[in-house]
Every structure is written in C-alpha cells, then in structure tokens.
Amino acid sequence: MALPDGDPQRTSGLPRFDEHDNWPDAPTDHADTDELRDGADPRDADPFGADPLGVDPLGVDPLGGGEYRPGGLHDLDTGYEQTLATPSYDLGPTTGSFVVDLTAPQPVAASPNGNGFAREAGLDQAAEHGRARHAAPVQAQPVAPARPEPPAAPPAAPTWDIPSVPSGAGLSGAESLTAATILRSTKARPRSGWRKGLFALSGGRINLGLSPADLHRAELVTRARTPVSGCHRLAVISLKGGVGKTTTTAALGAMFADLRGDRVIAVDANPDRGTLAERVPRENGATVRHLLDARDQLHRYADVREFTSQSPTRLEVLASDSDPRVSAALSEQDYRDTITTLERFYNLVLTDCGTGLLHDAMRGILGLASSLVVVSSASLDGARSASATLDWLEAHGFDGLARNAVVVISSVRPGGGLVDVLQLEEHFAARCRNVVTIPYDPHLEAGGVLDLADLDPSTLDAYHELAAAVGEAFSGRR
C-alpha cells in the first residue's frame, strides 16, 4: 500500500494528544507509543481496535509487517460504528485541528423497540443505523382519506343569569305599587260581532267584553308572540313545486312581522330562480350573493338593510340570484355564511327552500333549522309529496325535525274538489306536531305583492292559526 510522502504514519490532519490534554480519560484512552513499539497489542491501548501508529484495522501493517491478524474486519466494523456515534465538526480544509468533547453525555431520543419498550439512552444508535442501512426499504402504508366531518350544529344560545320580575306580597315601597293592585280592572273592548255594535251604540257604556272568537284570536296572537331565544331559523320545504310554498313563506313571515316587535326576515334559498322577492315591494336589486360578497363589512343593522326589501308589515326579504348569467347555485357554505351574518341582526329567519331536498344548500338549511314547515297542496300528488318529505327526513337523521314540523295544506284552487281534506289532516296529524289548512284566496293566487289587509277573513284567521302553531316552538333553545 503506497503511503503519502512525508507522512508514513498517515497522521497528518488528525488530532494529536500531549501532556497538556485536559481530558479526564486521556491517560487511559491513549497508550504510550513506546509501549506499542515494544510489542504490546495495539488493541489493548485503543478500545476501537485502531493502531495510532498506523496498523491497519484489516490486520495488515502498513509499515511493512504484512501480518494478518484475525478479527480485523470485526474491529473495522466496531470502530466504524463507534465513529458514527461520535460527534464531529468539519471546520474547513484550512483548519489544522479540532476539539470534540467526548465527556459530555450524548442525547438519545427514546424509540420503541421490538418488545414495545423504550430504548435506553445509553444504547448504541450507530449499530441501529448500520443495520437500517442494509435492511429492506419500508413500504409506505397507504393513508386512508379523511372522512368528511358532519356539518357542525349551530352554537346554542347563551344562558344569561337574569332575575325574574319581582312579584308577590312581600314587595314593599315603590315595588308594591303595580297596575294589578292600583288600577281598576276593565273589560277589553269587543273586537267583532254584535258586542262590538252594542258597545258603539251605547257610547262605550255597555261593554260585554270579548266574544269567544275574539278570545280565541287573542290566544293565537299570544302564542305567535312567544319570545325567541336567540335566533329561530324556520325552513319552509316541499318536494313538489306549485303547492304554495313561496306564498306560505311570504304570508307567514308577514304575519310574524305584523304581530311581533322583533325583526323578521325571509331568505330565498331556491337554487333556481326564486320568486319570493316578488311578494314584497322591491326596494333594490341586491341578492343573497351581494350580501355574501360584503358580509365582512356589515357591522350594523343599517348596513344589512341596504340589501333587503321591506313590506308594509315590516317583513324583510333577501332575494335569490335571478341573473341568467349566474351558473353557480347557492351552496351549503354560502347558506351557512348567510345565516351567520343575518342572525346577528334578526330574531326570526324564514327560508324558502325551493323544490327538492337534494341540492347542496339543503344540507346547510336542515343542519341549521330550528323547526320546519312542510307545505302540501289539497291534492293527492301534493299530499303524497309532503308525506314523502317526512319519510325522507326520518330516513336521513332528521326525525326530530319531522316530528316537530307543522304541515300546511294549501288550497291553491277554488272549490273543495274530490280530495277529502279532513282525511289529509288526520294523516299528517299522526306524523307531526300540528296541521293547518289554508283556504283558497284570490289574492294569494295572483302571485303579486302580498298584503294581509286584502286577504279574506277566513284566510287571515288560518294564518293566525299557522303563526300560533309555529310560534309554540320559539321558546325552545337550540
């Protein structure tokens, strides 16, 4: 083996040790070179089995001895593995020496061994590395695609620690002066019938109070005015078109806006061209898409009001996209973002869902709905579609919404026809919370701007019934 000139020991560039070595183990780790030349086994002085005088770990003496020593390959492997475990630093080709602190403990990360226990920090990582270099490559395990998370339910309205109104005989001072204890009780003025005529003819001296019809209507109004906890989201749905769903949304929303003092809005979520905005006087051309584009800039109710149209009853309507150039329907996330914006400013949000239950926005509508109104026409196909809607809800995990739904049987044609409406009412009453039949009304059939004052008295009474039936669910927290 040829050696470089001037360096027969091949020790140039290697660290040298002298009497100034401050390593604590230097006297034991490095044997005297004279002892090595006198015939001592180099491996007794060097734990790595490497001769500092140049004895080849393979067992061949580069100085000319040519002696083969058994175990040289083993010593080479051991020395190589130990060298891998020793930290070193390359400081560049011009550096003559370097220092390695071999006394400091080497941090070793714990890893599970074959028995499932963590390897101790003192185990040789170099041997593990040497075996890993020659082992068969580990086959990458296929990663299963993440399952989509179900739509998150809306957060429940917070429960405030608000005390009740003080009452009872224990009140004292100013709190004891109430209308019930100080004011004389008077009968309410009659609203209709001959009692109202007698009250007018007598100049108010004869007051027989409210008639049974007036008492019933007052009870319906009280139920329709049930306080809302947070924001109540009401969805009006149907599998079949042409059953009066949009008309029901507009009329019910107008009734709530007229009877209640809080803010009510109806959203047209029809994936096709919806007509809900045509039931109120149109004040602007904004749609739900414009609201979504500007939702980050809406900080006050006045800002949202720029995108809605309002009827004389104070019902506000947010129109759907009607531009024929629009190719993207309202998606689930679009609807969720819309409701997230509106519920900051409105107490009651009605949604006209359009026809069908399988369009993308329907997932968000049903996922956020507090209660449902299922619309059916007074016909065989309309009733079967409404019943199939309840079947679909029960089969897809919305059985709670189906049981608490209110079914509306809308008479969209004059005359009773051949359909037994009472039979339909019995069928739906067994499947949901309440059933209300809306009689035929020419004003509703026209399909124009809806005005409650133009409805027949029987139709108006029916919508009072509907508002009361739906309003009973407002007190529930979701």
pLDDT tens digits for range 36-73: 445 555 445 444 444 444 444 444 444 444 444 454 55
Please state the rounded mean pLDDT for residues 393-399.
93
- Of 162 and 463, the structure prediction assigns the larger pLDDT to 463
- Residue 95 exposure: Cα atoms within 13 Å on the Cβ side: 9
pLDDT surpassing 80 at residue 261 = yes
Q: Which amino acid is at 171?
A: L
- Strands 264-268 and 232-238 turn out to be unpaired
- Strands 371-377 and 316-318 turn out to be unpaired
Which residues does 175 contact at the CB level (< 8 Å), separation at least 6? 166
pLDDT confidence of residue 299: 94
* Sign of the torsion angle spanned by Cα atoms 282, 287, 288, 293: negative
* Sign of the torsion angle spanned by Cα atoms 14, 17, 23, 26: positive
pLDDT confidence of residue 133: 47
pLDDT confidence of residue 24: 47
pLDDT confidence of residue 270: 85
- Summarised one tens digit per residue, pLDDT across range 299-357 is 999 999 999 999 999 999 999 886 655 556 788 999 999 999 999 999 999 999 977 78
- Strands 316-318 and 348-355 turn out to be unpaired
- Strands 316-318 and 264-268 turn out to be parallel
- Strands 371-377 and 406-410 turn out to be parallel
pLDDT surpassing 90 at residue 374 = yes
pLDDT band at 282 (very low <50, low <70, confident <90, very high): very high
Q: Which amino acid is at 180?
A: A
pLDDT confidence of residue 83: 56
pLDDT confidence of residue 384: 93
Beta-bridged to residue 351, according to DSSP, are: 235, 267
pLDDT confidence of residue 409: 95
Both tokens of 392, joined, read: 């679909």
pLDDT confidence of residue 142: 55
Please state the rounded mean pLDDT for residues 186-190.
83
- Summarised one tens digit per residue, pLDDT across range 153-179 is 556 666 677 777 777 666 777 777 777
- Summarised one tens digit per residue, pLDDT across range 122-165 is 445 544 444 444 445 555 555 555 544 555 555 666 667 777 77
Both tokens of 71, joined, read: 């175990």
- Tell which residue, 358, 346, 334, has the closest CA to residue 268: 334
pLDDT surpassing 70 at residue 271 = yes
Rounded CA separation 328/337 (Å): 16
pLDDT surpassing 80 at residue 247 = yes
Looking at 194-198, 401-405, 429-433, which range is the least confident one? 194-198
pLDDT surpassing 90 at residue 224 = yes
Q: Long-range CB contacts (< 8 A, 24+ apart) of 127-133? A: 127/81, 129/81, 129/84, 130/77, 130/80, 130/81, 130/84
Beta-bridged to residue 238, according to DSSP, are: 355
**Residues, the chain, total?**
478
pLDDT confidence of residue 352: 94
- Summarised one tens digit per residue, pLDDT across range 351-372 is 999 777 878 889 999 999 999 9
pLDDT confidence of residue 192: 87
pLDDT band at 181 (very low <50, low <70, confident <90, very high): confident
Residue 395 φ/ψ, nearest 5 degrees: -80, -15
How much is the pTM? Answer: 0.64
Residue 99 φ/ψ, nearest 5 degrees: -125, 135
Region class of 209: left (phi > 0), else alpha (psi between -120 and 50), else beta:
left
Average pLDDT, the chain: 76
Domains of the chain, CATH where assigned: 189-216 (no CATH), 225-471 (3.40.50.300)
Contact yes or no for 226/347 (Cβ under 8 A): no
Both tokens of 429, joined, read: 């009453």
